[in-house]
Amino acid sequence: MQCVRGTDRERADSLDSRPATHRRVSRREPARRGDTPMPHRVIATLTRIRLHASNFTLDPAGLAYAGLWGVAALTIMAFCQTGCSSSRDQTIGEVAAARARVAPSLASMEAVPTSASQAQELRALGYTGRYGGIDASAFNTEQYDRIDEEGFLAVDQHPLSTFSIDVDTASYSNVRRMLRDGQLPPAGAVRIEEMINYFSYQRPKEDSEHPFAVALEVAHAPWKRAHRLVRIHLQGMHIEPADVPPRNLTFLLDVSGSMQPANKLGLVKRAMTELTRQLRPQDHVAIVVYAGASGLVLPPTSGEDPQRIVDALGRLQAGGSTNGGDGIRLAYQTARRHFDSEGINRVILATDGDWNVGTTNRSDLVDLIERERESGVFLTVLGVGTGNLKDATMEALADTGNGHYAYLDDITEARKVLIEESGGTLFTIAKDVKIQVEWNPARVLAYRLIGYENRRLANEDFNDDDRDAGEIGAGHDVTALYEFVPSGGEATLREVDPLRYQPKRATDTPDGSASRELLTVKLRYKAPNADRSTLVTRHLIDDPNDVRRASDDLRFASAVASFGMLLRGSEHRGHASWTMTSELARGAIGNDAGGYRAEFVRLVEIARSLSPDPGLHGEVARVN
């Protein structure tokens, strides 16, 4: 028998054209004939077995069958290669390498590494077809919601803009992970408000009457000089560590098979260990885990005995299917049983979000969280991993659970979220925070809110205390940017025909003293244990001098917004370019504690190198 090694393209074409993921392997599937050599058909079969093991939950019999079939395939591969014209030493090396990679998976009976890693392994064997090629998109099951960007709205028809705040930061660190991995993010992964709110900004003047301070600012839009930007900035009051109330924390950890890679459960264990080292004697931690079933690994344990908590974390191993619904119920039940009316009561969920048994539908999971939040227990969601991240589900759960969603791409990010910003992550100072902006038609023709696409509220929701909205933690920064067209300018608007029976709107404000106002900002919030909201009102005067004195914070936030629009391919990006964005951010780094702004500049350069559109390498614009 003679084996002829085909070309890469021939080997790729010879494989089954069906998607690599979500496909079961049949022992009766006929082998393909032609120029493709037997070893590469075997490699494809082994790959399908491994994909099967990593994307589905197999019972012991199924795993045993996969193992036997894999060993048989390796034997056939070795026999076939012996008769080939290629080097026998190379043959032995390939077989040994393949066996070394497959054997541990069969021995542990657990999920194997992610599919992107599988592709790399096949490339190492010299295979460059569908399964071993550089395009790992066929293996990627990450899920992001579609973002429908809103255009400009005419002030005479839409004088009010209402939305919920958002303190999530997951989008930025997830985008950073993708860029570091050499790929541009999908548009749905780019939530501009989360990218802006990832960064810290200068503290506004303290407001002793409310738990957060508010600052307003106006400047030219760097991507379109005829337009202008308004920055609304909220910052939660800072709490000294000694003044933080006792913490009743329940770690809800996903230990299913998909969490096996080191950047998943391994990272979670390290992150939770570092958080545990920060606990005080009055703090308590319980650990709930879930895979095919859920269980209480550690009852509430005082921070006075951190080693007991660390030891419990160290014993966790990944394996099995993912029943997140049962885990959520048990975690909330545990938190309620030990509820501290004077303390912080929070479930910290760490997962890739890939739930496949029990309650798996996103709407059902959201309904479950909505019922559980009535207990007064708040939720933090930590996303981890690559390849199967269910971003949309985790964001929805955090939003519904009076919580915060962060993505941990490495241990440095875990320290930032859980230790450096623990006040904002764990200690809620105001809930159901809503913002409503009323625009002055004498000063503004049209406007659009940048980002917050899934946080928009009906205008009537602003005064409805039953309407859920976002939370703000101690020290949290919340920034909203509006782009607007001054009166007398030009804007492309979606308009309706003139109405026959409605009175015409006045073109100026009735109160002459208010005519210099661009807008009025109203905020509503509730104390963490309150049912009635409090109203805060601020006004922004249209002062031309402010335009020439744009702060570093406004210029940096506008650079992040420009970056997000470029990554999305936004139709509103105007003259924005990678060069403009980089230079704008570089000139607004300011007091960069932690080096996060400097890191942002490096990410812009990475995105520039990956961008397929040379037209985005434009001239530098200024905000002045």
10-residue mean pLDDT series, the chain (624 residues) = 38 36 37 44 46 39 46 50 43 44 37 40 43 51 91 94 95 97 95 97 83 93 93 93 93 93 95 96 96 88 97 92 83 94 94 74 83 90 93 91 93 95 89 97 96 96 95 94 92 79 61 74 95 96 70 95 96 94 94 94 95 58 44
CB 420 within 8 A of CB 187: no
* pLDDT of 153: 95
Cα-only R_g, the chain: 28
State the Cα–Cα distance between residues 483 and 204, nearest whole angstrom.
Answer: 22
In which element (H, E) is residue 241 found? Answer: none
**AA identity, residue 63:** L
pLDDT at 602: 97
Cα four-point dihedral sign 82, 17, 186, 255 = negative
Report the DSSP beta bridge partners of residue 519.
Answer: 439, 540
Helix axes 60-82, 88-108, angle to 10 degrees: 170
Token pair, residue 144, equals 């992001």
Exposed/middle/buried for residue 490 (C-beta within 10 Å: 0-12, 13-18, 19+): exposed
| Six-digit token string for 484 | 């607007």
Please name the helix (run of DSSP H) or strand (run of DSSP E) that holds residue 298, with its range, or none.
Answer: strand 294-302
Give the per-residue pLDDT at 408.
97
Q: Tokens 């006792």 correspond to what residue?
A: 246
d(CA 587, CA 415): 27
What pLDDT shows up at residue 359?
63
Strand partners for 288: 252, 296
CB neighbour list of residue 156: distance below 8 Å, 6 or more residues apart: 441, 505, 507
Please name which of 41, 53, 54, 42 lies closest in space to residue 15, comparing C-alpha atoms.
Answer: 41
Strand 344-351 with 378-384, pairing? parallel
* Angstrom distance (rounded) from CA 63 to CA 74: 16
- CA pair distance 519, 507, nearest whole angstrom: 15
Q: Are 391 and 170 in contact (CB under 8 A)?
A: yes
